[in-house]
Structure 1
Amino acid sequence: MKLEIIKKIREHDTIIIHRHVRPDPDAIGSQAGLKELIKTNYPNKTVYLAGEQEESLAFLQEMDTIDDSVFHQALIIVCDTANTERIDDDRYKNGAFLIKIDHHPNVDEYGDMAWVDTNASSTCEMICDLFSEEGDVIQFSDEASRLLYAGIVGDTGRFKFSNTTKKTFYHASRLINANFDPTDLYDAMYETSLPLLRLKGYVLSEVEIRESGAGVVYLTKDILEKFNVDSKEAAGIVNAFSTLKGIKSWVFFVEEPDVIRVRLRSKGPEIHKLAEKYNGGGHPMASGASVTTWDETKEFLVELDQLCANYNN
């Protein structure tokens, strides 16, 4: 499959790379890292990054402006996106050929070609694997290395999460030899604002720990306004109490104008199936979903309690 993807990259002069909405470092790192690798090793190709600009991650890479006409003969590659509803920029449908590269469970089987590896720590790790097929002929530029390293760091929680493997460390060790400053990268990735820091203090004082071992945080619009933090920024503190002794899983209910975002994490019970039941999905230990009413959050908690109560370490 990896060699077939490389073959398609060689066959097309124009390549447009997409990722999911509300991107994280792995989404942009894999998207932009792939662009850098293609441009370095196949310099005659034209490569674009599709999607809305995410200002909080502008230190990684900025997106391109793409005319509609460019899509028709282009190879489209979608990185780090499990289902079509989450692909940023729906013009991905207008390309000549569509490839999916992802490490989430393959719930939505889209694309003319799909490479899904749920054992990979991140899609950035998969991009490293993809080009490692070519051996030493492929050059990893300093910028590609920086971008891919950022994605691996982000999706492994700085190598703390259980998805970190020997292969993860192998690729990270190769990438970090490039000419970029990992300390500067960490600072940019984990820098926080004073309003967000104060919201984190509120979360730590108000988190509800249930008998089942589930943790619950409610971030209503009023609370977000009080701390002057938006729902995207609030996602940055979802692991605020992940080290709490005895906690099995936890959920943040974050209110937006038309939906309540469900940010779900776990230290044991597999939660992605629960997320799928509520318009979402993700990884067994990290998923997201959405509900429309606070009554639905109560139903969600009943099921989360059952998952936690039935889980034995």
Structure 2
Amino acid sequence: MLGALFGTAAFTLGGVRLGVPVPMKAASHGCIGLILGASIEPETFARAAQWPLTLLVLSVGMIFITTICAVYYIRVAGFDRLTATAASLTGGLTNIVAIAIQMGANPPGTVIGQLFRLTSVVVLLPLIYTRWLGASAEVATMDAMQTLSSSNLWMLPLAWPAYFLARRCHLPVPDMMGPFLLSAGFAVAGYGIVLPDWLFAAVFLFVGASIGTRFYGLKSQSLVRIGGHGAVATFILLVSSAVVAYPFSLVAGVPFHVALLAVAPGGVAEIAILATVLGVDPVFVTFHQVFRNIVLNSAAPFVLARLR
């Protein structure tokens, strides 16, 4: 994933325009959904009774994380309140940027701040967790790849009608949630879904490349000037996420490293695939990441409108 990210970023920063076809993006998210759904266990439903309380803690934590980061952008980077808040919101990158710029936020400040957040989280979290969990992370990765070595490719065509059904039902992130519910249904029924390891690797490559293509059109001067603040702001986001993760772990009854990934300020697809490979309770992590994404994307127009 990191190789694809840095490789495409190098080309786009060099002036080569690269893009990601929408069907390919939907297909990669669908594969992530299938992988996540296959990890559902009966115990998952028993734990779900605790999740409303963890969602409350996460909601308060999101306000804390966004505020701390926005204060840095205003006090140190000199951003106006609208741009500082837009760069600090940890929702969907495309949605937040589009809404913020339409309302008058500074485009380079918003785009570069959001890009550095997403890129830094994707780069740093695997390194942190590999060092932190040590052999456990390596074993989890190997087990995941071995589990996926068998082939159930007949499941892939079923992901498309599952996506359209989820879209028709207005489910959040339908390209991921539809296939997730499909494979989860098979898993609950006792039928294990396994996919080939090359498909798993392809999803990683695609996720990395899709982030790298977003650097196209950024000027080097703005990238250096604002990027430094973006790096510091990302560090603030990670530290404040760790602060939130501690009470979150106590309420949820999960280890701290699971709670940290559940509240991490990354993208839903990126965090979901990392949780799966690292063996860090992927269903729990993804559920809370989807909730965070829905809340922030829904609240962003109202929050940003008050700051114009």
**What TM-score do you get using the length of structure 1 for normalisation?**
0.25
Q: With CA pairs under 8 Å and 6+ residues apart, which has the higher RCO, 1 or 2?
A: 2
- From the two aligned structures, give the one with the greater strand fraction: 1
Question: Which of structures 1 and 2 has the bigger CA Rg?
Answer: 1
- From the two aligned structures, give the one with the greater helix fraction: 2
**What TM-score do you get using the length of structure 2 for normalisation?**
0.25
